[in-house]
Amino acid sequence: MKRYTEFEFSAGLRWTHWLRALAIFVLIVTGFYLAYVFIVPAASDEPVLFLNAKFRMWHEIAGFLLIAVTIFKGYLFIIDRQSYKERIAFMDILNPKVWFQQIKYYLFMGKHPELRGAYNPLQFVAYIGLYAMLILVSLTGLILYVHAYHSGVGGALYDYMRPIEAMMGGLAMVREIHHITMWGIMLFIPVHIYMAIFNSIMGKEGSMDSIISGYRYNKSNKH
Ligand code: HEM
């Protein structure tokens, strides 16, 4: 069967995907340490080790990277002309027929539906859930941050974060929500990777290649 290449993901979208993957990886490793200090440096008389501070520093660097990437991705989704394929995927959510076809496909009971955009409806809804979690983890992260850093960004955001902190039930609850959201994000990751591999193997359209090169294969010459 002849295959045609089709441009799917812009460079900005691909770069932000992998930067976000890196940020989330660093945040999970350092976040686990902040929640439960699992390594301790060898004892020293000099006060120079500051391992906890170093872990927190990398957590915050990755945290601000995650926030920046999320804002930029949101901007691309709404504004970017090349991200049209992402936006138009929303139309398939409104079509119950596509939902049924997609579920049947995952149960090995039918063919993959013809999609209008880059994502199938189940995938799109999962991404909306991911964004909800990313916003929550960023917001709770910023609340924790403003309590440790009172100048610069921390100082500028302090007055805005305090009412949200109160609405969430206080700082201890904020920390709890931040931690639980991490588990939500951690559940998303293996499912996301499994689905990407599943679609790549079953669909034979190079869907995993497209998040690296930008191009996928299309069995028809429709563009
Ligand atoms: C995928 C994203 C993230 C994950 C998985 C994550 C995970 C965690 C975890 C598990 C903790 C420890 C909470 C506890 O004590 O139980 C923590 C603390 C913290 N996080 Fe995050 N976090 C994320 C994003 C962010 C973001 C975007 C920021 C904002 C800059 C941030 C700032 C903080 C701060 C300031 C603390 C408190 C550090 C301390 O207690 O000294 N986090 N994070």
| H or E, element range at 111 | none
- Positive or negative CA dihedral for 159, 161, 167, 170? negative
Residue 42 Cα to ligand 1 middle (Å): 25
What is the mean pLDDT of the segment spanning 3-19? 87
How confident is the model at residue 181, as a pLDDT? 98
Q: Which of 19, 25, 33, 34 has most ligand 1 atoms within 8 Å of its beta carbon, as the pocket-test mutant?
A: 34
Report the CATH architecture of 4-214.
Up-down Bundle (1.20)
N-to-C CA span, the chain: 17
Kindly list the domain boundaries of the chain, sorted by start residue: 4-214
Global pTM reads 0.91
Asked if pLDDT for residue 222 goes beyond 80, the answer is no
In the block, which residue shows the tokens 């049924």? 100
Look at 4-13, 155-164, 170-179 and tell me which has the smallest mean pLDDT.
4-13
d(CA 77, CA 188): 21
Residue 25 Cα to ligand 1 middle (Å): 12
d(CA 148, CA 177): 18
How confident is the model at residue 223, as a pLDDT? 44
Q: Is 137 in the pocket of ligand 1 (CB under 6 A)?
A: yes
Tens of pLDDT along 51-97?
999 999 999 999 999 999 999 999 999 998 888 888 999 999 999 99
Tens of pLDDT along 15-62?
999 999 999 999 999 999 999 999 988 888 887 789 999 999 999 999
Question: Ligand 1 atom 29: the closest Cα is on which residue?
Answer: 141
Look at 48-52, 99-103, 139-143, 166-170 and tell me which has the smallest mean pLDDT.
48-52
Tens of pLDDT along 119-135?
999 999 999 999 999 99
Atom of ligand 1 nearest to the CA of 182: 5
Between 203 and 29, where is the model more confident? 29
Question: Ligand 1 atom 17: the closest Cα is on which residue?
Answer: 31
d(CA 143, CA 67): 13
What is the mean pLDDT of the segment spanning 106-130? 92
How confident is the model at residue 219, as a pLDDT? 64
Three-state SS for 114? Answer: coil
